[in-house]
Amino acid sequence: MINIDTLCNEKNNCMLCGNRIVHSCQATTAKCHYCGVEEEAYIQCKDGHYICNACHSQDALKVIENICLSTDMQNPVTLAEKIMKHPSVHMHGPEHHALVPAVLIAAYQNYTGKKKEADILEAIKRGSKVPGGYCGIYGACGAGIGVGIAVCILAEATPYTPSERSHANWATSGTLRCIADAGGARCCKKATRISLRKGVAYLSDMFGLLWYENLDLSAKCNYTKYNKECDENCEYKDRSGIDNN
């Protein structure tokens, strides 16, 4: 049987040794423990271990792909919560940047009946290119960017399509505003839930759907006690003292 405390500690800390992760304001050259790639990094564990974004997310991306391609769920929040419970998805990490557009598009397709597997795969590919820590390094949360990615794909936007390009940027900026207004330190779970709620609302309005009105997009967080930076004022915070994850 999996020990949930051990599992969530692994989700939150260094994949190699389990020690805490240290974030820096200045990039340093680091070598990935698994694949050996050397690159600039803002994140390492306190003992100097570094795991690149590709190695950190690889298994999780396959889980996202498999579930999104096979699901019939129309609620992206419910779908995301299911995926985030998988052991391969960490407490925090860049896999959430692919998760948001993938589940948003998968749920949209299930609601509209317009199935197109290539769009889900494209969402994962684009989202996986947004590095971890983007929110506090470049000023744009990867989950929020994920909403823009989903709109780009569904609207078939390019840099040369004025209306579609504008919609994608409005969707991203509106989502980032909601994430910023929510406050607190980084929390990939909170950012994912906020992004999906905003994404459903935007797509419903954009395409004239009743999707948003028909869904319960609320969520109860089961990760509160495992998140060292958990925001006391978070709307999703588990205040019951009981963790059901």
pLDDT digits (tens, 9 = 90+) for 155-206: 999 999 999 999 999 999 999 999 999 999 999 999 999 999 999 999 999 9
Q: Which pLDDT belongs to residue 104? A: 98
For residue 137, pLDDT beyond 60: yes
Q: Which amino acid is at 203?
A: L
Average pLDDT, the chain: 89
Q: Which pLDDT belongs to residue 68? A: 95
Q: Which DSSP state fits 19?
A: P
CA distance 14 to 45: 6
**Confidence class for position 239, pLDDT limits 50, 70, 90:** low
Tell which wins on pLDDT, 33 or 203. Answer: 203
Please report the DSSP string for 202-228 in residue order.
Answer: HHHHHHT-STTTT-------S-GGG-T
Identify the three-state secondary structure at position 31: strand
Q: Which helix (H) or strand (E) holds 41?
A: strand 38-45
pTM over 0.85: no
